[in-house]
A and B are shown apart, each in its own frame.
Chain A
Amino acid sequence: MDRELLIFSTLCFFFAMVRTALSVQARNYQAAGLNFFAIALGFVFQTAFLSVRGHALGRCPLTNLFEVFIFLAWSVSLIYLVIGPAYRLSLMGAFTAPLVFILQTFALLAPIDRPPLMRHEPSPWLELHASISLVAYGAFALACIAGIMYLVQERQLKRRRINSMFYHFPPLTDLFSAITRLLWLGFVLLTVGLVTGFLTGEPLPYVKIAWSLGVWIFYAAILIARHLGTTAPRAIASLCVLAFSAALTVLWGITFLWQTKTL
Chain B
Amino acid sequence: MNLFCLGISHHTAEVETRERFVGHGGIDRILREEAGCREALFLTTCNRVEVYAVAEEMIPSERIVQCLCTHGIDQIGKELNAFYRYEAWRCVQHLFRVTSGLDSMVIGETEILGQTKKAYEAARASGAAGPLLHRLFQRAFRVAKQVRTLTGITRGSVSVGSVAVDLAEKIFGDFESRKVLLLGAGAASERTARALVKRGVRDIRVTNRSWERAQALAALICGYAVRLHEWEQHFREVDIVISSTAAQRPVLTRERLGPLIHDRLDRPLFIIDIAVPRDVDPDVNEMQGVFLYDIDSLQSIAQQSLALRREQMDVAEQIIDEHVNDFSGWFSAAPERPLGGSSLRASET
Contacts and interface: CB of A to CB of B under 8 A. Distances in A.
Interface in A206-226: 226
Interface in B135-176: 150-152, 155-156, 167, 169-173
Contacts of A231: 265-266
A229 B264 contact: yes
B114 interface: no
Interface stretch (A8-16, A157-165, A251-259): A157-165
B289 A167 contact: no
B289 A232 contact: yes
B291 interface: yes
B311 A27 contact: yes
A169 interface: yes
Given A171-B170, A171-B173, A28 B266 contact: no
Quick one: which of A153, A162, A172, A229 has the most chain B CB within 10 A?
A162
Contacts of A232: 265-266, 288-289
15 contacts: A26-B315, A28-B315, A157-B171, A158-B291, A160-B297, A162-B301, A163-B308, A164-B155, A172-B170, A173-B173, A229-B266, A230-B266, A232-B289, A233-B289, A234-B289
Main SS of chain A's interface residues?
Answer: loop
Contact of A28 (B151, B167, B173, B291): B151
Contacts of A158: 285, 291
Given A28-B312, A167-B152, A167-B155, A160 B301 contact: yes
Nearest to B315: A28
Contacts of A160: 293, 297, 300-301
Main SS of chain B's interface residues?
Answer: helix
Q: Interface range on chain B: under 10, 10 to 19, 20 to 34, or 35 or more? A: 20 to 34
B289 A27 contact: no
Given A232-B289, A234-B289, A172 B304 contact: no
Nearest to B287: A232
Contacts of B311: 27
A163 B315 CA distance: 17
A171 B155 contact: no
Interface in A143-167: 153, 157-158, 160-164, 166-167
Given A157-B171, A232-B289, A234-B288, A162 B156 contact: yes
Given A167-B156, A229-B266, A232-B266, 16 more contacts: A26-B315, A28-B315, A153-B170, A158-B285, A158-B291, A160-B297, A161-B304, A162-B301, A162-B308, A164-B152, A164-B308, A166-B170, A167-B152, A172-B170, A232-B265, A235-B288
Contacts of B186: none
Given A171-B173, A173-B171, A28 B265 contact: no
Contact of B171 (A161, A171, A229): A171
A230 B265 contact: yes
A157 B170 contact: yes
A169 B155 CA distance: 13
A181 to B, nearest CB: 15
Contacts of A172: 170-172, 268
B64 to A, nearest CB: 38
Contacts of A171: 169-173
Contacts of B16: none
Interface of A: 26-28, 30, 153, 157-158, 160-164, 166-167, 169-174, 226, 229-235
Interface in B276-299: 285, 288-289, 291, 293, 297
Contacts of A166: 170
B263 interface: yes
- Nearest first, the 7 A-B pairs at minimum CB distance are A171-B173, A232-B288, A229-B266, A160-B297, A232-B265, A174-B173, A167-B155
Contacts of B170: 153, 157, 166, 169, 171-172
B305 interface: yes
A229 B265 contact: yes
A135 to B, nearest CB: 28
A54 to B, nearest CB: 41
Contacts of A153: 170
A233 B171 contact: no
B330 to A, nearest CB: 27
B133 to A, nearest CB: 31
Nearest to B304: A162
Contacts of B301: 160, 162
Contacts of B171: 157, 171-173
Interface in B64-113: none
B305 A162 contact: yes
Nearest to B311: A27
A161 B167 CA distance: 12
Contacts of A234: 288-289
Contacts of B169: 171
Nearest to B149: A30
Nearest to B167: A157
Contacts of A30: 150
A28 B318 CA distance: 14
B173 A27 contact: no
Given A27-B152, A28-B315, A170 B173 contact: yes
Contacts of A26: 315
B107 to A, nearest CB: 14
Nearest to A229: B266
B102 to A, nearest CB: 15
A47 B263 CA distance: 46
A69 B172 CA distance: 36
Nearest to B155: A167
